[in-house]
Amino acid sequence: MDNVEVLGEDDTKKDRRGDDVDRRSGGGLASVALTWDEKRNRRNKASGRVSCFLGDEISDRGQYLRRVGIPSRAVVADFSCDCSASASAPAPATEAPGLSPSPSKKRVVSGVQPTGSVHLGNYLGAIKNWVLLQVIALPLVVDTYDTFFFIVDLHAITLPYDASELSKATRSTAALYLACGIDPSKASVFLQSHVRAHVELMWLLSSVTPLGWLNRMIQFKEKSRMAGDENVGVALLTYPVLMASDILLYQTDLVPVGEDQKQHLELTRELAERVNYLYGGRKWKKLGGRGGMLFKVPEAFIPPTGARVMSLTDGLSKMSKSSPSDQSRINLLDTKDVIANKIKRCKTDSFTGMEFDNPERPECNNLLSIYQLVTGKTKEEVENECQNMNWGTFKAILTDAVVDHLHPIQVRYSEITTDPTYLDHILSEGAKKAADIAEITLSNVYQAMGFLKR
């Protein structure tokens, strides 16, 4: 990965400095963290590194897309890029274990919780973009992406839940993955709980995760406030550590994330660099290991459109499974009549005409964005078509567009769920491939942290 420091055999001076700090401070985590933070900041300043994470922006879209490796001149609806550096170019040499089988492949990892029905926000904000990674990349650049998409069922129990509904929701979510276009011949589709290395690595990462980092997570604050102290378990606090494990196990290059997950990905990057510093390089080699990085440091992939679909009842709130009102979201399996009723009753405003990007009209902007995404039209085309419409006329064409877009997904879902053995086979094969790769990473981390080989 560009601008990621590898602690190898030539890093004696850097590694010895860390050892000296350990001796002076008694090996305390806080003192090591201070040294590591200073080291990272100096490295970033020296390299001129620009990140797409918390508080940082990349002003040039082409620069951003080149960084995340999208291939040249790929265009699918508004999901487009014009990059001078093709993703087919050989990746920089790296020493992290469990890498993608081809140096030209970039590994993409992401998942969705099986809580409640999968809705339009999940699809347009995440799943559709995963499908586009297959549609865009593979015809233009052979084997550009090595993709892992899984149902994060362990994350689903961080808050009180109905055990009888979890298995149903898990199967339904997996079937919808496939119905939406995820191709199991090009991607590994599996359940998080079927690869035990996720939990094992989470425990190892927990040992080097400062409590203060977790307390600052915005989602923890929001969800704990909503659930009440009596319903908040430790799992909700450590949720980001499990997410880090999900990503780092597979030596991931790119993580498709929405705006609300960027903070969690930044934590993942911090943990990867911390473990590489504390246990990688010469320290690992002294224990019989290969040396070098234990984890590749992942990058965010934030799509140009579709990253955040808002509620039908509040244009300032994200469309969410956790909302108590089903009216706030369009579920992928909603019937035509249900979709029509939800759009008919959705919150609007008293302004005349339709327009994007008016801060006084968040609901209008949200509904126009949904229309743009499900039709594949450009923003300019939507503006020209809809600017003089009233709400009644626009809601009618939006309803038709959403229904038409979801119809093939619903047909395919019905076909998949009529044969449970097909879904079981896909999940089993995906878990086997994932477990083989995860075990390489996990074994190396165990060794580097001083555990005996099992």
What are the catalytic residues?
223, 318, 321
Q: What is the DSSP annotation of 36-105?
A: HHHHHHHHHHHHT---SSTT---S-HHHHHHHHTPPTT-EETTEE---SS-TTSPPPP---SS--SSTT-
| Positions of E strands within 133-199 | 145-151, 187-191
CA–CA separation, 125 vs 112, rounded Å?
A: 11
Residue 324 is classified by DSSP as S
Nearest to 70 by CA among 60, 58, 84: 84
Contact 189, 182 (CB under 8 A): yes
The CA-based dihedral angle spanning residues 424, 429, 430, 436, taken in that order and rounded to the nearest 10 degrees = 140
CA distances for 282 relative to 13, 89, 208, 276, 341, angstroms = 11, 30, 19, 11, 63
Nearest to 369 by CA among 311, 432, 434: 311
Give the tokens for residue 333: 């399996």
Nearest to 195 by CA among 438, 441, 443: 438
Contact 253, 4 (CB under 8 A): no
CA–CA separation, 337 vs 321, rounded Å?
A: 20
Contact 106, 146 (CB under 8 A): yes
